[in-house]
Structure 1
Amino acid sequence: MYKRIVVAVDGSETSGKALDEATKLAREMSSIILLLHVCEEMPIMWEPDGMNMILMQNSLKAVADAGKELLDKHRRKLAEQGITVETKLVEAYGGRIGSAISEEAQKWHADLLVVGTHGRKGIAHFLIGSVAEDVTRTASMPVLLVRK
């Protein structure tokens, strides 16, 4: 039985499908869901001499604010369905997103971690990478991958 389910959400269609699956499980098992969003973009600006990069604080705030809005939208939707829900925003700019997801799920003592996967293969997978693959490598709990 899964009583504590973490769902990584990023606003994509794939993460929406992962949330749908986690919601079904939570409803059947009377589970609590943690909606987790990891801020992944690293807004930067190069100085005129091109040697140093400067984090753009306004851009960082905009990315975090968008993440908060996404979490709040999903939180309200789940709460309306009677699902017990918590939210967590992690600002891990430039880090490994999959590892950050796994670490947060472990800190929260999750029984199950649900993430969407695009199922890319070959050169697309090599060039874009896979957050889902990183999650499966680093997670200490069962992981449910939901394909698009």
Structure 2
Amino acid sequence: MSSSYLVVAGVDGSEGGRRALQWAAGEAATRGGAVQAVIAWSWDGLEYGPIAATQPQEEAERAGRLLDHEIEELVARNGSSLPVAGEVIEGRPADVLSAAARTADLLVLGSHGHSRVRHTVLGSVSEDCIRKATCPVVVIPVPGERPETAAEPAPRT
């Protein structure tokens, strides 16, 4: 990629990953940059999606198809004027994303993806990337359920 401003976006097939990729595309477009969409895959039991593969090569191919689909959807929504590249990398998601962002200006992640453990505010991958990344990290929240009514604070006297 020849653009001087690079935004790396973590993609995993989740709503959070889609929102992160969309936000990354908007940020890159604003700055005249490019997006590198990255998906991590692993055969050691770490999952990014709901269906487990039976062979390592199958897992890598499935990750590639998922990434291609997410990029195609992004281009369908935004047009093809923004440079977007995809990369499928074997490894632990936080390690892969942090390494991919070493030469980036920004790393963008969804707050929760397809992991087994959910944290209160951030997903475990987001938390780990925030600690490891050498560039700024933006975590895009996934809209959750809103309470029906919010209690108003008592008036001060």
Q: Which ranges in structure 1 are unaligned for 5 or more consecutive residues?
A: 44-56
RMSD, matched Cα: 2.5
Out of 127, 130, 147, the position equivalent to 2:141 is 147
Work out the CA distance in 1 between the residues paired with 2:84 and 2:44. Answer: 28
Aligned to 1:91: 90
TM-score by length of 2: 0.69
Deviation at 1:35, TM superposition (A): 0.6
Task: Map 1:1-148 to 2 at 5 A.
Answer: 3-42=5-44, 59-79=55-75, 80-92=79-91, 96-106=92-102, 109-118=103-112, 124-125=118-119, 130-148=124-142
Work out the CA distance in 2 between the residues paired with 1:8 and 1:40. Answer: 15
Residue identity matched to 2:131: R
Q: Deviation string for 1:92-119 (max 9, x for gaps)?
A: 1xxx42122101211xx10000001139
Corresponding pairs, count: 124
Identity over the aligned pairs, expressed in percent?
31
Q: Which structure: larger Rg?
A: 2
Work out the CA distance in 2 between the residues paired with 1:124 and 1:7. Answer: 20
Of Structure 1 and Structure 2, the greater strand share is in: 1
TM-score by length of 1: 0.73
> Given that residues 109 and 139 in structure 2 are in contact (C-alpha distance below 8 angstroms), is that contact kept between their aligned partners in structure 1?
yes
Of Structure 1 and Structure 2, the greater helix share is in: 1
Deviation at 1:58, TM superposition (A): 5.0
Q: Which ranges in structure 2 are unaligned for 5 or more consecutive residues?
A: 46-52, 143-157
Structure 1 runs, 4 residues or longer, greater than 6 Å off: none
